[in-house]
Structure 1
Amino acid sequence: MNYQEMSDEQIEFAVSDALGIPRGDKWCSDWAETGPIIEKHKISVIHFCMAEPQDGGCWMARPTYAYEHVKARSDNPLRAAMVVFLMMKGGE
């Protein structure tokens, strides 16, 4: 699945589905909702101040442990983290 082509709303629906909860949470825009997932799944979010447009965004997320091939970039740190969460859940 190519998460980079999905809208924020599609990402949010996929996260809710992966968690087995009703849709409606704002996983790509609400730190209070997304923070516990980032913490529980040990997802690192890193800012690159010298990112170029072709890099895919100035924020990169990746699992802190294992899943070495899993990473996502976005101009939105929460979106990058939720893409990594979905990748860790087996969507890619």
Structure 2
Amino acid sequence: MNYQEMTDDDIDLAVSEIVFGKTLGRRTNYTFDKAGFVFTGSGHSFTPLDNENVVFTPKIKPTSSWADAGPIIQENRISLFASDDEGKWMAQFINYKTVHMDKNPLRAAMIVFLMMKGGE
């Protein structure tokens, strides 16, 4: 998968799925309210646009929140380094093979996290 082409929202959603261990395919954890319905028991919530389309939003925003990303970075031993390459940051897993560079250090770290988990 080409993580560089993913939006921050796509990365947040993918990370949220991994962290909370749920998939979008689960249809048993819905609760309904007047505004539509909310997906509970996982890392996602959604409100339907119409009868056929649903917009999913992640429970956490690790590409923009240090509070959300910090525990993931620490628990997965992802390192961040400042780079001289156009103000980019390098995120790296301890195996030295899983590396990504981005101007947003959190995005770089979450892409490395997805790369690490992609083989599972």
Please, what TM-score do these two structures have when normalized by structure 2?
Answer: 0.65
Q: Name which structure has the greater RCO, CA cutoff 8 Å, separation 6+.
A: 1
**Pairwise mapping of residues 1-92 of structure 1 onto structure 2 (< 5 A)?**
1-19=1-19, 20=21, 21-22=42-43, 23-48=58-83, 50-52=84-86, 58-63=88-93, 65-66=94-95, 68-90=96-118
Q: Secondary structure at the match of 2:118?
A: helix
Hey, which bits of structure 1, 4+ residues long, moved more than 6 A?
none
Query: Paired residues, what number?
Result: 84
Q: In proportion to residue count, which structure has more strand?
A: 2
Shift of 1:43: 0.2
Please list the CA deviations of residues 13-43 of structure 1 after superposition, one character each: whole Å capped at 9, or x if unmatched: 0001111241231110100111011001100
Q: Secondary structure at the match of 2:63?
A: coil
User: Where do 5+ consecutive residues of structure 2 fail to align?
Assistant: 22-41, 44-57
Question: Equivalent residue for 2:28?
Answer: none
User: Where do 5+ consecutive residues of structure 1 fail to align?
Assistant: none
Equivalent position amino acid for 1:59 in 2: W
Which of 1 and 2 has greater Rg?
2
